[in-house]
């Protein structure tokens, strides 16, 4: 199998971490559909953070939000190093 190096004109996602902000508070049933993601449930939105394998996986997650009728407020790639430096009380993992 021959592998080609990434082309500079086509960005590669790789195993990057993303943060998805969804309007509203997601319950346990919906959160369970996003296995592998950390969740923070805040008063007006739910924040999901996790690794995304590649561009196709990212599009699949976005399509899943749409299929579930969820309103995506923001999506952004996050720096895993900066995320580890967040204070422990800056958020919590959902236990709802």
Q: Is residue 88 part of a domain?
A: no
Give per-residue pLDDT as tens, 14-62.
Answer: 579 999 999 999 999 999 999 999 999 999 999 999 999 999 999 999 9
Two structure tokens written together for 20: 């998805």
Residue 72 lies in a domain: yes
Please tell me the predicted confidence (pLDDT) of residue 79: 81
How many structural domains is the chain composed of? 1
Structural domain including 47 reads 16-83
Q: Is residue 33 part of a domain?
A: yes
DSSP helix/strand/coil, 44 = coil
Q: Tokens 């993992």 map to which residue? A: 93
- Residue 47 included in any domain: yes
Residue 96 has pLDDT above 50, yes or no: no
Within a 10 A sphere around the Cβ of 20, how many other Cβ atoms? 24
How far apart (Å, rounded) are the C-alpha atoms in residues 51 and 8?
A: 22
Residue 80 has a pLDDT of 66
């Amino acid at each position: 199998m021959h592998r080609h190096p990434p082309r500079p004109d086509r960005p590669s996602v790789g195993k990057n971490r993303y943060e998805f902000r969804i309007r509203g508070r997601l319950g346990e049933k919906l959160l369970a559909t996003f296995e592998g993601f950390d969740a923070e449930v805040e008063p007006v939105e739910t924040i999901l953070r996790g690794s995304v394998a590649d561009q196709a996986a990212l599009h699949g997650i976005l399509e899943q939000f749409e299929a579930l009728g969820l309103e995506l407020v923001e999506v952004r790639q996050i720096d895993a190093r900066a995320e580890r430096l967040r204070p422990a009380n800056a958020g919590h993992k959902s236990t709802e």
